[in-house]
Amino acid sequence: MAKRIQFSRHGGPEVLEYLDYQPAAPGPHEVRVQNRAIGLNFIDTYYRSGLYPPPALPSGLGTEGAGIVEAVGAQVEQFQVGDRVAYATGPLGAYSELHVLPASKLVKLPEAIGFEQAAAVMLKGLTVQYLLRQTFALQGGETILFHAAAGGVGSFACQWAKALGVKLIGTVSSPQKAARAMEQGAWACIDYSRENVAQRVLELTDGQKCPVVYDGVGKDTWETSLDCVAPRGLLVSFGNASGAVTGVNLGILAQKGSLYVTRPTLAGYADTPQRLQAMADELFAMITSGRLKVEIGSRHALQDAAQAQTALSARQTTGSTILLP
């Protein structure tokens, strides 16, 4: 038997249950991982609330963690018992002491990267990798806008953009978060509680706007984001922290300058074991070289997952939050 967090109905953090369960034996192409650290992310709240429906209820939660391979399926060749591994793309159930998942979802974890560090960086770091290096392949010299620049993904984006020679303008909700984003490498910050974001972007770019805007907030920032994209530029809508973007009129893209919009996901980029490992290798290289620093803002016991999600949703967290089995 092992412990895990599950939910039997959708709702707020109060629906999360800390229960005993019997982990399955790994199937032919699966691996069972003894988690040493588990990542907590906004996407977890989407599954809990029902914004993203899980395959079935009751359901486990979480897609990110790091630990030791405890058992392998009969046809798994790339991993063996005792290997250090990390994962970020599911399936649901990472909020657990033991997690069974396809071997194709795992990456090998270098000795130089700790379990807590990996659990804090995998999902957010791989997200930044595909956003900055693939969705819009930044070359250096661009001025970009990135919403929620002091959050978990935003903090990594600030650092990675600076390493690429990119000027990142970050939006934040307070002077304290502005200071944090600047420390992480942002070129400039806009406090949306006090300033008009679109107007400040015009001022900061000498009226040129940004070739790409990264928006993980969703509903509340959608129209503002469109106003910040340069003609023929790209709006990357990659999250729903404030709710999903709905009712989009494609004509607005024409009116605002023949704009492009994409709604990417990590799973859409890390869609083969080879691509996933290559992305992870670049991420790990950024960390070991010192260009990307992983800050764990808070640690919670696994049984306190509801409390951790409450803090995350209330934007009371900075850096990454991890759960410890």
Angle formed at CA 13 by CA 10 and CA 17, multiple of 5 degrees = 80
**Partners of 254 in beta bridges:** none
Sorted by sequence, the CB contacts under 8 Å of residue 172 that are 6+ apart come out as 148, 149, 150, 178, 180, 181, 189, 190, 191, 192
**Token pair of 132, please?**
């900055």
Q: pLDDT at position 309, please? A: 96
Sorted by sequence, the CB contacts under 8 Å of residue 196 that are 6+ apart come out as none
* Secondary element (H or E) of residue 313: helix 305-313
**Token pair of 194, please?**
């006090």
Q: pLDDT at position 42, please? A: 84
DSSP-H helix ranges across 57-194: 115-130, 152-164, 175-184
Q: pLDDT at position 100, please? A: 97
Q: Which domains does the chain have, with CATH numbers?
A: 2-121+271-324 (3.90.180.10), 140-263 (3.40.50.720)
Q: Which of 86, 43, 112 is nearest to 277 (CA)?
A: 86
Return the axis-axis angle of helices 115-130 and 152-164, rounded to nearest 10°: 60
Residues 231-277 have pLDDT tens digits of: 999 999 998 777 778 888 999 999 999 999 999 999 999 999 999 99
Sorted by sequence, the CB contacts under 8 Å of residue 232 that are 6+ apart come out as 257, 258, 259, 260
Rounded distance, CA 80 to CA 69, Å?
7
Q: pLDDT at position 46, please? A: 87
Q: pLDDT at position 36, please? A: 98
**Partners of 131 in beta bridges:** none
Rounded distance, CA 281 to CA 232, Å?
32
Sorted by sequence, the CB contacts under 8 Å of residue 305 that are 6+ apart come out as 5, 13, 16, 18, 40, 61, 95, 323
> pTM, whole model, 2 decimals?
0.90
In the predicted model, what is the mean pLDDT of the chain? 95
Q: pLDDT at position 43, please? A: 86
Residue spans of the chain under pLDDT 50:
none
Q: pLDDT at position 278, please? A: 96
